[in-house]
């Protein structure tokens, strides 16, 4: 996600901020920094991170 200007701490401490950033971006699709095509993958990864967390 750093390629899209998103940076969070590495490791388990970075998961929560990353999920919050992604959820905020997903809600405001018109101004999203992440390409629409990437959201399919990101949504699946976010679901997995929530389960692991």
User: What is the structure's pLDDT at 52?
Assistant: 79
Decide: helix, strand or coil at residue 49. Answer: helix
Structural domains in the chain (count): 1
Separation between Cα atoms, residue 35 and residue 22, nearest integer Å:
12
Tell whether 2 is covered by a domain: no
Tell whether 45 is covered by a domain: yes
CA distances from 28 to 6, 14, 45, 47, 53 (A): 15, 22, 19, 19, 25
User: What is the structure's pLDDT at 4?
Assistant: 63
Tell whether 40 is covered by a domain: yes
User: What is the structure's pLDDT at 20?
Assistant: 81
Sorting pLDDT into bands at 50, 70 and 90, what band is 41?
Answer: confident
Q: pLDDT of 9-37, one tens digit each?
A: 787 777 788 778 777 766 666 666 777 78
Query: Given a cut of 80, is residue 47 above it in pLDDT?
Result: yes
Tell whether 1 is covered by a domain: no
Tell whether 19 is covered by a domain: yes
What range defines the domain where residue 13 resides? 7-52
């Amino acid at each position: 996600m750093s390629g899209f200007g998103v940076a969070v701490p590495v490791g388990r401490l970075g998961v929560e901020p990353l999920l919050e950033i992604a959820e905020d971006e997903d809600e405001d699709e018109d101004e999203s920094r992440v390409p629409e095509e990437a959201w399919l993958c990101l949504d699946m990864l976010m679901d997995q991170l929530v389960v692991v967390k």
